[in-house]
Each structure stands twice: as C-alpha cells, then as structure tokens.
Amino acid sequence: MKQYFYVYRITIDKKYHYYGARSTNVIPSEDLGIHYFSSSIVVKNALTQSKTVKYKIIKETETFEEALEIEVLLHHRFDVENHPLFLNRRNQTSTKFIHGTKNKIAVYNPADDVVEYIPCSKLDLFITLGYKKGLPESKVNWRKSRAGTFLGRKHNQSTKDKLCKKKSINIQVQFKDGIKIEFENRLKLGQYLGMSPQLGARLVRESHRKDLWDKYNIKDIVRL
C-alpha cells in the first residue's frame, strides 16, 4: 500500500495556527480535515470551540524524514513553542520534540484533567481555549504527599559513560567550497571561524537551514 507524507497547517478562527507533519496511506487531499484532524490534544480542544477552520497542505514529500525537515524549519522560523498565535506546544527537532518545564507555567483543562506546561506568552491563548492557570487541587495534594521522599538519583557508570560520549560528539561541517571538516566541539569550530563557539555553531545551523529552504522551495508561509 502506497504511503504519503506531507506537511500541513491548521488555521483556527483565522488567527491561531498549527504546523505538523503526517504519514498516511490516504491521499493527502482526502485525508487532512476529512479523516485526520491533528493528533494534538490542544488542537482538538480548540476545534470544538472554533467558528472557522482551514486546513492546508504545505508540501508533499517523498519520505517522512523530508516532511520532518520542513516541519523543523517552520517551527524554527516562527518559534512556535513561544509564539502566542501558535497552538504547537513544542518546537520539533530533527528526531524529537524538546520537552522541559524550565521558565514555563502550568495550566490544566478541567474537562480532560490534562496538565500542560507552557511559556508565559501562550497563557492568554490557552485561557481562551478553556484552560485554567496553575495545577488542579488533586495534583497539588499529590505533590504534597510526595514531598521529601525523593532523595536524588545517582547515575550508574554506564549512564555516565553515555553522557561523556554525548559531550564529545564531533561536529561535521561542509563549507560552500565543498570542503568537509570535522570539529571536536563547538569551541574548536568557533576557533576555526574566528568567533565565539555559540556564534560559530549558530552560523552553521542558519546556513544549513537556508540550504534546506532552497532545497524544498517552500513558498506558502502563514502571514501573521
């Protein structure tokens, strides 16, 4: 059975947006908005309250990896995790979503008893979708009952070895003239480029993203 891969956008009430990637055995034009309405709980809740909904297929691709690449580009372009007009809760990376609760606030949906951790910039958006600020009483009481029982976790040697390996992963860069160079870390890359490690790594990432934009020729971008 043939598989189809595509990147899509859902626009709710001509204001809020959601970008996603999809793999299906249904023709995209007969799938989005007919059989598939996003896997996001936030989007599903918003759809029940919306007056107008628009589904748009941004790009069909040959593989799901290509669809993910485009999704990553779009998430990065708009920083959807922190943008108040996007329903995406996380920015997609090449292999996974980045999770974490640092610098975020808790909101919950009383109807589903679902707790989310979101940036402050999205608070007004989630309140309009029926969420309430803070944790529900049941979650607060559960946390109090657990207080003081966690004494910390120590990594075993196997985990420590894995963490050390992660820190020493080489960075391979292909420059415009076709030359490929491997750097031990961001510091070495920065020294080679004559700039700070952070700026050097960012320069390479931005150059890579520009090449991907050109590769996929993405023209349809939401106007905010």
Average the pLDDT over each of 56-70, 108-122, 167-181 and give the range with the smallest value.
Answer: 167-181
Largest Cα separation within the chain, whole Å, is: 61
* Rg (the chain; Cα; Å): 21
pLDDT digit string, tens, across residues 158-168: 776 665 555 45
Residues 6+ apart with CB under 8 A from 200: 186, 189, 190, 192, 193
Quote the pTM value: 0.62
What is the spatial distance between Cα 67 and Cα 55, in angstroms, rounded to a whole number?
Answer: 17
Percentage of the chain beyond pLDDT 90 is: 29
Q: Are 129 and 151 spatial neighbours (Cβ–Cβ below 8 Å)?
A: no
Average the pLDDT over each of 118-127, 157-166, 207-216 and give the range with the smallest value.
Answer: 157-166
Sorting pLDDT into bands at 50, 70 and 90, what band is 141?
Answer: low
Say yes or no to pLDDT of 99 above 60: no
Tell me phi and psi for residue 147, to 5 degrees: -60, 135
Q: Are 15 and 67 spatial neighbours (Cβ–Cβ below 8 Å)?
A: no
What is the spatial distance between Cα 190 and Cα 91, in angstroms, rounded to a whole number?
Answer: 26
Sorting pLDDT into bands at 50, 70 and 90, what band is 151?
Answer: very low
Strand, coil or helix: what is 124? helix
Residue with more model confidence, 71 or 167:
71
